[in-house]
Amino acid sequence: MTQVPAPYGVEGKVAIVTGGASGIGECCSRLLAERGATVVVADINLPRAEAVAKSIGGHAVRLDIVDDQHIAEEIADVEDSVGPLEIAVLSAGVAQTPTRTEDYLMSDWDRIVDIDFRGAYVSAAAIGNRMTGRGRGSLVLIGSTSGIRPVPLHAYGPAKAAVIAMTSNLAAEWGRSGVRVNCVSPGYTLTPMLQGMIDRGERDPHILENDSALGRLVLGEEIAQAVAFLSSSEADAITGINLPVDAGWLATTSWHTYGGLPAAR
């Protein structure tokens, strides 16, 4: 029996994914393409973006999200060559290792805040301001549970908290213009970046798993599913939210004060 594909609400739309050539961004690029969107893989690593785009039948563009002097022109070029953007996933970013304040260089702090917060704003403005002129569009920013709970990431955590706050600001500003803005905040997600940290001994996977209600890490594909939903017409009444996808990490951490989670029944 032939199975009819489910209507996902992104078919035929043009989507751009910043940081779309690796990690969570790559998972989002692949899932949106699988569900029928025309995907522009935007990344500072153009060869990698081209490889991903070729594998999903999409398009690739080199995009530096902190280059506010040229990003608007680059987005205009994308729309001229591919079509008006109706979906944007702003996934580009960099991570931080836990660092004590006395050991943390301000140049490293500036770099993370510049990319993870300022870059998110610059790219959101460049894309969102064009969407408002057409009266439609959906942006999904990528936050982090590190922006919700205190962690020893003195640049990354505050930068992601700022992204979460910015999401509701932009949702309010652009809502009457038909543009929705939401945020997905991943918990510890088994991306190549996190796997590299585990391999280098910078993260203990057993601690990360034990600190979640479900007792496991999140998969990149699971983040992409939440992003695809918020990007779609199925979420037309949803804007200004932050959706944690964290295997229950936020729900679990305070239970350690009471001896930890109960064992499986």
- The 10s digit of each residue's pLDDT in 20-73 is 999 999 999 999 999 999 999 999 999 999 999 999 999 999 999 999 999 999
The pLDDT of residue 7 is 58
pLDDT averaged over the chain? Answer: 95
Under the banding of pLDDT at 50, 70 and 90, the label for residue 107 is very high
Domain membership flag for residue 259: no
In the predicted structure, residue 145 carries a pLDDT above the cut 80: yes
Cβ partners under 8 Å of residue 133, min gap 6: none
Q: In degrees to the nearest 10, what's the CA dihedral of 94, 43, 71, 37?
A: -120
pLDDT score recorded for residue 130? 97
- pLDDT at position 103 over 50: yes
Whether residue 47 is contained in a domain is answered as yes
| 158 has pLDDT over 80 | yes
Residue 8 in domain: no
Choosing from 8, 121, 156, 188, the catalytic residue is 156
Q: For residue 199, is it within any domain?
A: no
- Domain boundaries, position 102: 14-189+223-247
Of 47, 61, 10, 54, the C-alpha closest to 32 is 10
Residue range 196-233, pLDDT digits in tens:
889 999 889 999 999 999 999 999 999 999 999 999 99
pLDDT, residue 203, reads: 87
Q: Give me the phi and psi of 16, to 5 degrees please.
A: -120, 140
156 catalytic? Reply is yes
Instruction: Answer whether residue 31 is part of any domain.
Output: yes
- How many domains does the structure of the chain reveal? 1
CATH no. for residue 127? 3.40.50.720
- pLDDT grade for 97, boundaries at 50, 70 and 90: confident
- Residues in Cβ contact with 127 at an 8 Å cutoff, skipping those fewer than 6 apart: 16, 75, 85, 88, 137, 139
The answer to whether residue 154 is domain-embedded is yes
Q: Is the pLDDT of residue 5 over 90?
A: no
| Residue 6: pLDDT band with limits 50, 70, 90 | low
Q: Please report, as a single letter, which amino acid is at residue 204.
A: D
Residue 4 lies in a domain: no
Residue 212 lies in a domain: no
